Structure 1
Amino acid sequence: MHRLPIESDSYFNSYGHVPERFRRFLIPSARYHFSSDGANDMLDMNISLDGFSIWIHYLWLKGDILLQPFNTKDTFALHFWLARSIPAKLRDLGLVDVADCILFFLKAMEHAAWAASGISLSMHINVDPYNLVPLSTEFPQLAFLKNLPAYTNSTPINPMPFSISAVNFRILKRILHCRYIGIFSECYLRRNCVSLYTNYLKELSTEVAQIVMLEEDRRKLYRILQFVGSHPEMVVSHEYLAERFHINIITMRVGFEQEFHVSLFDFVQQERMNKAFSLLMNYSIDDIARKLGYPATFLFSADFEMFYGRDPRQLQMAQ
């Protein structure tokens, strides 16, 4: 049996316990727990942040093995299955399909064990119930969190799992590949957690306008996503994108948010700020502002501080 930590402050061992062949998966700012019975290998990682707790689970299972999830404190867990879906059991609900994306409230307890096999990668971003109000105050886009009821049993918030959008895949991959340390890691990962919860809450709401899209237009939206992700500095306006990809501007704006659960404006800003962060260690603030197409450095600095909650010059000086 493998104990699968959902939230815990003590379930860790040292870097030396991780075999050489698995160390390429390690995130420098994480705590690790590696276990193996000779046939089955399991690597759990945790990164504790201000208001959030990131957990990553790699499972390489050659035969059926019992997984025993547990958490030592009540928590909300925004869960993503990135490779292979494994049905899970909650003591209060029985079998629950946790494919793709689902938000759970989980009571502090040993959850029901279930048999699993194969290779799996899952992640969850946890929030302590006591942090719901402070987080929703700091980030107004998370205001829905403070209105969640006081649950007495473990339960999924969205009983039907959501698909992981292409935008969220980009964010999750950034977490998995994060090699920043110290204050850079804290700032970068925390903002990515905010983005994941923001996108989830937008999908959970019923306020997003719905349109019927042609398959051709949907393909164009994915091309727009790839273009913005690679060249955010080139996006001077929505009109520019609509003209470049030959798509009606209303279809583009509404369709993008419907497909990816984030507005086009917010996605462009997300990608621009991600590129800014990657440049921060090697370029001056003035150079970064120019590379991203800002007419003035102070405008870039204001956007950066609004997005990450830190002044870029102070962050750069702290490296």
Structure 2
Amino acid sequence: MGTTLSGTNKLLLFERLNPSYVLPTDIPEEFESLIIPAAGAYFREDAEAEILSQNINFGPFTLWIHDIWAKENIVLCPFIPSHIWSLHGLYEESLHLESPSAPSYLLEEKEFNLFNLPAGLHRIPMAAGKKILSVHINVEQEVLKAMVEEFPGLEALTKLDRKEAGALNAHPYNSNPICDFLIEKMLSCRYTVKRAYPYIFRICIDLLRNIAAQEANLHQPLMVDSVLNTESTHQLLNYIREHPFKKNTITQLGYMFDTTPKKLSFEFKQHFAVSIHDFMHTARMMMIYDMMQEQKTAMSEIAKISEFPNVMNMMMQVADYYSCSRSATYQ
């Protein structure tokens, strides 16, 4: 279904061949809390809209974050200089994507889509008074395929195929609480460039992996028991978030939440796409990385808190998870 809304056209660059970031001093103070220090930023303000765009080029893919406030009716005109695939997530409002070469597509709040976007201009009408947060991970199809060797969890996305412009996925992906957790960590990262790149790079990978897991499990219906146990499954997720230093076994968690390990594991994956072990590892690695950057706790103490046998074992896992040496080459 399309829309008849019209307004002033606002060019929105999804990629830039020649970056020309603005200085932080050129961005009004009221937007300071939104600034990611490691990202390059652009800011535009006029009578119709305020647009803050932030970008990090990681090499194999780029991250774009757009905060857009419409004071009047506007039409966002995303421009893509060359053909890309783009994982797109929208927060705070829903919008319609319009393209001369594809049907109108509803961009629903808190949903993700993987778009095949040819070079050119697209249209997204936005009503006065709306505010959106738009997150994009842009990658070339062949590059995504090459990334599977290092990150096998991405394979399901590489099997998607569509020649014409539009969503590659048959159904939108859900921004489940783990996706929300990752986005929250991304937006709140205040580390310097050198420290932020491995951290945000891995967040993007984990977000792509969660979406790929949703694609792989697309034809598995949400079982009745999973629906009935939604509250306890969310309690388990919150427990892991609040206790990332604990290395509980699935058997121990099953005992704590009064269910069998098999049932607990199945229902967690039904709700959040990835396994309990996968999310426990993500939460633990993030906690350790954050504590390392704070530099308030000795490495030996961090290893003890996070239940590693020694510092060397902990550091090897952190380095492997964040691919620190490789990520540094993308700065």
TM-score, normalised to structure 1's length? 0.90
**Distance in 2, Cα, partners of 1:230 & 1:186:** 25
Q: 1:35 aligns with which of 31, 44, 47?
A: 44
- Map 1:226-237; keep pairs closer than 5 Å: 226-237=238-249
Aligned to 2:197: 186
- Map 1:24-103; keep pairs closer than 5 Å: 24-99=33-108, 100-103=111-114
Q: Contact 1:44–1:56 (CA<8 Å) still a contact in 2? A: yes
Structure 1 gap ranges (5+) = none
Aligned to 2:263: 251
**Distance in 2, Cα, partners of 1:207 & 1:129:** 21
Report how far residue 135 of structure 1 moved.
1.2
Q: What is the alpha-carbon root mean square deviation over aligned residues?
A: 2.2
Report how far residue 218 of structure 1 moved.
1.3
Aligned to 1:174: 185
> Relative to structure 1, is the Cα distance of residues 209 and 237 closer, same or farther in structure 2, using a 3 angstrom cutoff?
farther
Residue 37 of structure 2 aligns with an amino acid whose one-letter code is P
> Relative to structure 1, is the Cα distance of residues 306 and 209 closer, same or farther in structure 2, using a 3 angstrom cutoff?
farther
Report how far residue 198 of structure 1 moved.
0.6
Q: Deviations over 1:71-99 (max 9, x none)?
A: 11211111111211111112321210122
1:138 alignment partner, SS class:
coil
Q: 2:30 aligns with which of 21, 30, 41?
A: 21
Report how far residue 301 of structure 1 moved.
2.5
2:72 alignment partner, SS class:
strand
* Structure with bigger RCO (C-alpha 8 Å, 6+ apart): 2
**Distance in 2, Cα, partners of 1:284 & 1:209:** 45
Q: 1:278 aligns with which of 290, 293, 297?
A: 290
**Distance in 2, Cα, partners of 1:283 & 1:9:** 42
2:147 alignment partner, SS class:
helix
**Distance in 1, Cα, partners of 2:209 & 2:198:** 17
**Distance in 1, Cα, partners of 2:182 & 2:61:** 15
TM-score, normalised to structure 2's length? 0.87
1:153 alignment partner, SS class:
coil
**Distance in 2, Cα, partners of 1:175 & 1:252:** 28
Percent identity (aligned): 24
**Distance in 2, Cα, partners of 1:214 & 1:309:** 35
Is 1:158 matched with 2:182?
no
Report how far residue 147 of structure 1 moved.
4.1
**Distance in 2, Cα, partners of 1:145 & 1:39:** 37
Aligned to 1:129: 141
**Distance in 2, Cα, partners of 1:220 & 1:180:** 34
Q: Deviations over 1:227-258 (max 9, x none)?
A: 10110222421122111222332221000001
Is 1:302 matched with 2:323?
no
Aligned to 2:11: 3
Report how far residue 207 of structure 1 moved.
7.7
Q: Contact 1:50–1:190 (CA<8 Å) still a contact in 2? A: no
Give the number of equivalent residue pairs.
312
Report how far residue 215 of structure 1 moved.
4.7
Residue 69 of structure 2 aligns with an amino acid whose one-letter code is W
Residue 121 of structure 2 aligns with an amino acid whose one-letter code is E
> Relative to structure 1, is the Cα distance of residues 235 and 224 closer, same or farther in structure 2, using a 3 angstrom cutoff?
farther
Q: 1:288 aligns with which of 302, 305, 325?
A: 302
2:14 alignment partner, SS class:
strand
